[in-house]
Each structure stands twice: as C-alpha cells, then as structure tokens.
Amino acid sequence: MTTTQRRGPGSRAGGNHPTRLELLNAATVLAERDGMDALTVAAITASAGHSKGTFYVHFEDRTSLIVELHRRFHDALFASIADRTSDLAIGTDRAWLRIEAFLNGCRAQPAVRAMLLEARSMPEIAQLVAERNDQAARVLAAELREVSAQPREAAVLLVSATIEVALQELTAGKRLPRYRAALHNLVPDTSDRGTPQ
C-alpha cells in the first residue's frame, strides 16, 4: 500500500503543482482586474478557493508569488521568441524579428505586463528586470557583432529603447507603428558593416 506524504507549512510544493498554478492564475486575474494592490494573500486564496495555509505551502510570501509571476511571464515570452526565430540566420534581420516578437508578446498580455511593471519598485523584481535585460542584451549583441563596432553597447541601448516602446504601447493601449519604425532604425544595417557608430 502506497501512502502519499503530506506537505506541511513551508514545504514549498513543486513548481508545477496544480494548487500552485491555481494560486498563480488567480493572482494574475486579480492583478489584471484590480491592480497590484489587490494581490493580498487573502484575496488570492479566496479567488483560488484555497486556505491561507495552502498559500504558504507554495509561496514564502506575497513577494515570492509576484517574483514567480514575473518569471513565468518572461520565461514564456523569451521561449516563444527563441522558438520563432531559432531557424533564422544570425544577424540584424533576426535581431529585429526578436525585438518585434517581444513587443507583440507584451501587447498580447497588456494587463500582465502592466502589473509586472507596477511591481518594479520591489527590489526582488528590480533584480529580475536587470537580469532579463542583461540576458536580452547578450542575445542581441551576438546578432549585432558583424555590423556594429560596439555590439554590446548597441544591444544594451536597443533593449532600453525596446522597453520604452513597449511602455508607450502599453500606455496607448495599441500598437504604435511610428515608434516601432523609429526603433527599427536603431538596428544597425548590414550596409554599415565595420563602420564605427
């Protein structure tokens, strides 16, 4: 006879545990509808149909849940971008397609993106944002190596500009073709190969 071991408080059930996912999904819905202030442990557990004690089996506190929401959103977005562009040759065309895919991914989930932007004042989220920006800059730098004398610096600036366009589109509630065109113009052209910027 097989017995199932019960997890006690603080045991932190696994990342794909159904109850954990229910809590994360409930938090996403609440944040989209009512903003970050609505993300209390009581509201999340009530919305998910679980007790407060259950929350603490899966998350240390409210902050750890918000960190996980940030991680989930960006993991899914970065994986989607990589899947869509991995068959393309390294270079500026792929760099631009990756930037477009990021913007489109943010547009596809504006409420989640807005909620995560609101959370950036939290030190734990600010650290994750810095790590994600560095990750994106490293990927773009590899794309720009053949066309820019300063591929790393150009990539850092492109990441910052891309985030700004995403914020402008979030604020406007729509795609902004002129901003995207201006951003596209920042991607070094292959005709500029070897020319210091």
Please state the domain extents for the chain: 9-60, 63-190
CA nearest neighbour of 24 among 67, 77, 53: 67
* Fold of the CATH domain 9-60: Arc Repressor Mutant, subunit A (1.10.10)
pLDDT band at 4 (very low <50, low <70, confident <90, very high): very low
The pTM for the full model equals: 0.79
Mean pLDDT across 88-104: 93
Please give the average per-residue pLDDT across 22-50, as a whole number: 91
Q: What pLDDT sits at residue 13?
A: 57
Please report the pLDDT score of residue 110 as a whole number: 81
Q: Could you tell me the pLDDT band of residue 8, with boundaries at 50, 70 and 90? A: very low
Q: What percent of the chain has pLDDT over 90?
A: 58
Distance (Å, rounded) from C-alpha 91 to C-alpha 70? 29
Mean pLDDT of 113-133: 85
Residues 53-92: tens digit of each pLDDT: 999 999 999 999 999 988 888 899 999 999 999 899 999 9
H-helix segments, 36-150: 41-48, 52-58, 62-85, 92-108, 110-118, 123-144
**What average pLDDT does this structure show over 108-122?**
80
Topology adopted by domain 63-190: Tetracycline Repressor; domain 2 (1.10.357)
pLDDT at 150 over 90: yes
Work out the pLDDT band at 33, boundaries 50, 70, 90.
Answer: confident
